[in-house]
Structure 1
């Protein structure tokens, strides 16, 4: 990993080592764009639901456990969930966004697209990983896919978990993970048996995407930094005109501000000479 400033912006790959951005906005937006309701509690936990209450999402930074995201779909709004997906705190935000984007798209196509598991083979969800060079191992108990660097994996259990245990999180049909072993460096995502395959496939496709993602240095888990490919974002180089303008702005003057403003308007060379806009998220 190259040297980086303690508060700089970075490009990080692979995605599974990047950590979370710890903001819910990108993953909430696809659902809110379809008129889902949003509520929050006094602890800043956020709750989103579809107008008919068949889809519920919780973004729970102050929740009772390590799970940051819980997504449940109900055939009956007053009944138990038909299926559930969870993502814990260090999960890269892009993975949750891929899942909610696919869920929002399915919502527009009708209940059959998001309530019932489609009759697709599990290979639809595994194909993006295989195409990215992940190793697949099949046994009577499970199918396991592992990233080339051994720092991410997916397990599909061939043994059907009990429905109650699965919804409690005691057993998993689908378990996705990434990162070095350790608190706040390794993340887990789970999908229960009836989760539509195309939603899991959208998540694995994003996971397999090699494109680097933007992070602020403290967001990248310390244990992952030695294994990730990290490139600092280079700030734009000021032009000579930028330097002259900055110097002029700092210089003292006895000319009234109204005169300075009028002169500036009269001599401004146009939009192309404006100072470059900083695009970084934090400084």
Structure 2
């Protein structure tokens, strides 16, 4: 029993594919920029690679760009960085970073929302990439609806924790005289997270809302057993039965989530 509690995947073949929830503990999945980026590269979007393995994508106007910098020797395995500037090649108006260990489906949903905002701004007289009217509560109310806890500190931050305590979203609502990101999120133990995300002041709240919606989505993620983070496996649920072949052990089957968040899936 202790071994099964420590690693409920132990009787599965390493390459056995399972469907798991919650998303914040699922592991990164396939780290492939072309799976993350929904950009129409055949319609003016730019794609560049470097000899060091770094991959860049940018909008036709070169005011919005995103980059994947792999660093396999580091804990986060690299960084996904998104930035936008008011003029081509100008200083960043805001920046979003994710560890490469962030679930790839969440990264995809964030970039899809960014593309939508970019296209809406290009065809209207409003630019929501830099002036997003979405209120912050749109990004965190859905967390509360899914049972995440809420605490507020006098330092101007509020924190939302997943029911299992192994995922969190922090919002800095008092920005005057403060440094650091406006939004921070993580999955895993807070002292040693599997992944982290940081969204600076000015990052579109609509994108933050897309991130949190994907984070709590009830759509399960496909993962090979060997790729699921080890230390929090006992908090994962099998969202659908794994194929009978190669499975002499099972994971707990997740009940239908209550008040599941909206979210896209690959």
User: What is the TM-score when the length of structure 2 is the normalising length?
Assistant: 0.78
Residues 15-26 of structure 1: pairs in structure 2 closer than 5 A:
15-21=23-29, 22-26=31-35
- Matched with 2:165 is 150
3-state SS in 1 of match to 2:70: coil
What CA distance in whole angstroms lies between the structure 2 residues aligned with 1:182 and 1:120?
Answer: 31
Q: Does 1:85 align with 2:93?
A: no
Partner residue of 1:76? 87
User: What is aligned with 1:116?
Assistant: 130
| Residues 174-194 of structure 1 deviation map (CA, whole Å, 9 limit, x = unaligned) | 1011123576x5210111110
SS at match of 2:112: helix
How far residue 232 of structure 1 moved from its aligned partner, in angstroms, is 6.2
User: Paired residue for 1:53, among 52, 58, 62?
Assistant: 62
Consecutive unaligned residues of structure 1, counting only runs of 5 or more, are: 237-283
Q: What per-residue deviation string (whole Å, max 9, x for no partner) do you get for residues 215-241 of structure 1?
A: 1122211112122113663168xxxxx
* 1:17 positional shift: 0.2
Judged with a 3 Å threshold, the aligned counterparts in structure 2 of structure 1 residues 35 and 131 are, in CA distance, closer, same or farther, namely farther
Secondary structure of the residue that 1:116 maps to in structure 2?
coil
Higher Cα Rg, which structure: 1
Query: In structure 2, what is the Cα distance between the partners aligned to 1:27 and 1:95?
Result: 9
Mean CA deviation greater in 116-125 or 23-32:
23-32
Task: Report the structure, 1 or 2, having the larger helix content.
Answer: 1
| Alpha carbons of structure 1 residues 224 and 73: separation in structure 2 relative to 1, 3 Å | same
Q: Does 1:172 align with 2:181?
A: yes
Unpaired stretches in structure 2, ≥5 consecutive residues = 1-7, 246-266
Q: Distance in 2 between matches of 1:119 and 1:204?
A: 17
Number of matched pairs: 230
| d(CA) in 2 for partners of 1:78, 1:105 | 21
The equivalent position to 1:130 in structure 2, one of 127, 132, 144, is: 144
TM-score, normalisation: structure 1: 0.73
Compared CA separation, residues 11 and 37, structure 1 to 2 (3 A): same
